[in-house]
Amino acid sequence: MGKVFNVTANCDPQRHYMVDITERLRKIKDMVDRGDYFTINRARQYGKTTTLIALASFLHEDYYVISLDFQMLSESDFRTEETFAGAFAREILFSEEESNFIPENIANQLRNYADGVVEQAGLAKLFAVISSWCGISEKPVVLLIDEVDQASNYQVFLDFLGLLRGYYIRRAKRPAFQSVILAGVYDIKNLRSKFVKEREHSTNNPWNIAADFLVDMSFSAREIAGMLQEYEADHVTGMDVDAIAELIYDYTSGYPYLVSRICKLLDEQIVGTRDFLSQTAVWTANGVVTAVGKIVTEDNTLFESLEDKIRAFPDLRELLHSLLMNGKEISNVPGNIAIGTAKMFGFVRIENNKVVVANRIFEMRLYNMFLTSSEMQESRMYSAGDRDKYQFIKDNGLDMKLILERFVVAFDDLYGDQPQKFVEEDGRRYFLLYLRPIINGTGNYYIESRTRNQERTDVIIDYRGNQYVCELKIWRGNSYNERGENQLMAYLDYYHLKKGYMLSFNFNKKKEIGVKEIVLDDKVLIEAVV
């Protein structure tokens, strides 16, 4: 059986099409060589487990590697210091079972802990045994622990981290692990955000020895192209590898699960459907956009986890709502809990010191969540779009000019007499509310982060393989409007489009509402004013 794209558990290069992560493994090994202790904190399904498994092999020549997974421990293993010490010893023995690099006398002592026959078998005694082993080991010993989130609710885990810290500080006199790498979603430096019960002594940070982990684990367009090149060698689809890789990156920003999910859908589900009868047809821009639309509307473990976090953290929901629905520009403020939480769970990234949604697919999903809430669906503007929706489909695409014409009428009828401040804050939201039922189930849209601010927003609409760019802005006079036209023309060049759309919210009492068509060079601009 040939290779496939994988989106569950860890990836195996013998069975799965994978991005080559050799370069990031080298960077992590550099940290190990320095003797760093650190944490790989990344969002769900970001390749942490795959990286740790690959890292264990990558380090094999120079180090003895103990690879543990705290998912293999039960709740009872964390109940007391003695039970945790026994479970930890047991997992170390399992980890080195095939290599047999633990000296027999050390292995016997670990078995006694695992079997529960050591009196007062606390962690301090176990660490003394481990220290003896590290002191006589032929190679330095590296400890890798995956899924540390499983342990972070337990006081015994803090004690464990404290001992790691103590031996790290004194390792010139007391032998210790060469390096310790913990992997999980939650930042071990901020355990208080995860603890169910806050205790005074748990506010101290037992992991302040950790080095900053700055290795980028997202996939670049070049790395995605390398994976697709391997696929192309096997299947000969005729795809433009670099162009498809760049498009996948544009939608995912290199989020590993999303990259693999798009590819898996193209390879296994979309190919053979009515519009994509062959692999040549599916590995195209239209195929990628179709896969993105399918992802945005499907239920999967990643989206379930993200939406659970939004429900559990009200400040996170408020941040995302302000960012998306109000078009608010949010600066990265160190120590801001909501921003830190959003970064930790992978919702956002920092770009030019501004908070932006992590990728277009997340943005689409979040817009869908906010705009299809019962509160939003009961709004008059959503109802207006739902009422008008069937008249806008033309030649298997959208009649965007007609959409703008009908929106102008609906907006003026519903909100034309509202105070200026009210309209300035909510104008963009009303357009997205009107648009949502029109493209629901068939298309999606996202906001181009490079143009998001309080005066201008570019909405990119994907519908049946077609793209439409609509600039939303506040009217600031004719000269400002002309600059906006020039900006939109440049943006159309970027998207290789000949027609663009502008929607201006004008608060002048003598404004002239309506829609007009302007020809500028080889471009056509449809401008609407409300």
Write the CA distances from 301 to 39, 307, 308, 439, integer angstroms. 23, 10, 10, 25
CA distance 432 to 377: 12
CA distance 156 to 121: 13
Mean pLDDT of 155-183: 95
- In the 8-state DSSP scheme, what is residue 66? E
CB 437 within 8 A of CB 389: yes
Mean pLDDT of 122-133: 95
Beta bridge partners of 473: 456, 504
Whether 264 has a pLDDT exceeding 70, the answer reads yes
- Tokens representing residue 10 in the block: 């860890």
pLDDT score for 453: 47
Q: List own/partner pairs for 230-237 with CB under 8 A and 24 or more apart.
A: 230/3, 230/17, 231/3, 231/17, 231/263, 231/267, 234/2, 234/3, 235/279, 237/279, 237/280, 237/282, 237/283
CA distance 332 to 305: 24
CA distance 352 to 248: 22
Calculated CA dihedral for residues 245, 249, 255, 257, nearest 10 degrees: -40
Task: Quote the Cα angle for 236-238-241, to 5°.
Answer: 100
pLDDT score for 100: 83
pLDDT score for 485: 75
Cα four-point dihedral sign 19, 23, 27, 30: positive
Mean pLDDT of 65-84: 94
Beta bridge partners of 183: 40
CA distance 349 to 154: 30
Distant-in-sequence, close-in-space partners of 221: CB < 8 Å, separation ≥ 6: 242, 245, 246, 248, 249, 254
Other CB atoms within 10 A of residue 103 CB: 14
CA distance 121 to 463: 64
pLDDT score for 59: 97
Among 108-122, 126-140, 245-259, 486-500, which stretch is predicted with the lowest mean pLDDT?
486-500
Distant-in-sequence, close-in-space partners of 26: CB < 8 Å, separation ≥ 6: none
- Tokens representing residue 145 in the block: 């622990």
Per DSSP, the three-state class of 456 is: strand
Among 107-111, 251-255, 364-368, which stretch is predicted with the lowest mean pLDDT?
364-368
